[in-house]
Amino acid sequence: MAKARRQMEEELKLVDIVIELRDARMPLASANPLLEELARNKKRLIILNKADMADEEENRKWLSFFERALPADSVNDRLTNRVVNEVKDILKDKLEKAKARGIRKKTLRAMVVGIPNVGKSTFINNIVKKKAAKAENRPGVTKNLQWIRINEDVELLDTPGVLWPKFDDQEKARILALLGSINDDILDKEALCAFGINYIKENYPGLLNKRYGIDESKEDLIKEIALNRKWLVSEGEPDIQKTCEMFLKDVRGGSLGRITFERYESAQ
């Protein structure tokens, strides 16, 4: 942990801007408080990644919440120009200063950071338009830092910085676990499932019915899903564990539809 932190501190010194990936389905829970500390004085661009899996209306609201943020579907969008233009705009003072000092071409340096599985490698591959070199492998990073040229103005550190989310906040931990960003072993799977089902029922009425054909007004919806699928452990006894596992897989894979698990209003 201390080593990773030192390494990131060193890397941060080399860049003009941090591109912080967050998960659009949980724009606050997918942040990392350490970054606030380490990159306090750095310019920052937030990418609300996996925006294609999040609620479009919530996406719009969350984008207005952050000073500088872009939505992204790193699998399907063409992100290069949008990201490069935003980076140049954020750093326009720096570019102007360089110009005033007679530097004709100032190359801006950026690094991508984010919690595990938020899409860092996919995002980097997208904006550099190829498979970035050894995105997972970081041997002796300080000696072997590789820069990938995005275009003539911007280059990117080839290895993304991995930051663990902080889950001292119960609510955030539940959302992170629900979306598979932290190990759900630390939480009761059935409780996690119940939380997810209730959230969807409250905020996206109709989605559970559409996916599972259940009556959403019933008391125990996990049980309803199990009975509907005829998943039983014994005569008349629903297989809750199997049902929960399927539900979690569906939520993580976006099979229920576009859902945002943190409401913009609750952050106001």
Ligand X SMILES: Nc1nc2c(ncn2[C@@H]2O[C@H](COP(=O)(O)OP(=O)(O)OP(=O)(O)O)[C@@H](O)[C@H]2O)c(=O)[nH]1
258 binds ligand X (CB under 6 A): no
| Partners of 250 in the β-ladder | none
Pick the closer one to Mg ion by CB: 119 or 238.
119
Q: Which residue, among 154, 137, 174, 160, has the nearest Cα to 248 in the 3D structure?
A: 174
Stretch that binds ligand X, among 38-46, 110-118, 186-194, 221-229 (CB under 6 A): 110-118
Residues 109-138 close enough to bind Mg ion by CB under 5 A:
120-121
| Piece of the chain touching ligand X by CB under 6 A; list 1-9, 44-52, 84-92, 258-266 | 44-52
Classify 21 as helix, strand or coil: strand
Interface stretch with ligand X, choices 81-89, 119-127, 143-151, 192-200 (CB under 6 A): 119-127
Give the C-alpha distances (Å, rounded to integers) separating 204 from 73, 133, 197, 199, 210.
22, 41, 10, 8, 11
Please, what is the minimum distance in Å from the beta carbon of residue 100 to ligand X? 38
Comparing CB distances to Mg ion, the nearer of 121 and 203 is 121
Residue 73 interacts with ligand X (CB under 6 A): yes or no? yes
Nearest-10 crossing angle of helices 189-203, 221-229: 100
Q: Which does 161 bind (CB under 5 to 8 A by kind): Mg ion, ligand X, none?
A: none
Among 19, 69, 72, 251, binds ligand X (CB under 6 A): 72
**CA separation (Å) from 183 to 122, 152, 164, 177?**
21, 41, 12, 6
CB of 136 to Mg ion, least distance (A): 6
DSSP assigned state of 163: -
Residue 133 interacting with ligand X (CB under 6 A): no
User: Is 165 an interacting residue with respect to ligand X (CB under 6 A)?
Assistant: no
**Looking at beta carbons, which residue is closest to ligand X?**
119
CA gap 40, 239 in Å, rounded: 49
- Return the residue matching tokens 């099979």: 255
Close Cβ partners of 198 (under 8 Å, ≥ 6 residues apart): none
Query: Segment contacting ligand X (CB under 6 A): 35-43, 89-97, 112-120, 165-173?
Result: 112-120
- The single residue among 4, 95, 162, 207 that binds ligand X, judged by CB under 6 A, is 162
- The span of 114-122, 138-146, 178-186, 187-195 binding ligand X (CB under 6 A) equals 114-122
Q: Cα–Cα distance between 73 and 49 in angstroms, integer?
A: 6
Tokens of 119: 């899409």
Q: What is the 3-state secondary structure (H, E, C) of 141-155?
A: CCCCCCEEECCCCEE
CB of 161 closer than 8 Å to CB of 124: no
Interface residue with ligand X among 22, 50, 174, 258 (CB under 6 A) is: 50
Indicate which single residue of 57, 92, 116, 232 sits in contact with ligand X (rule: CB under 6 A): 116
What residues make contact with ligand X under the rule CB under 6 A? 49-50, 52-53, 72-75, 114, 116-122, 136, 162
List residues binding Mg ion (CB under 5 A): 120-121
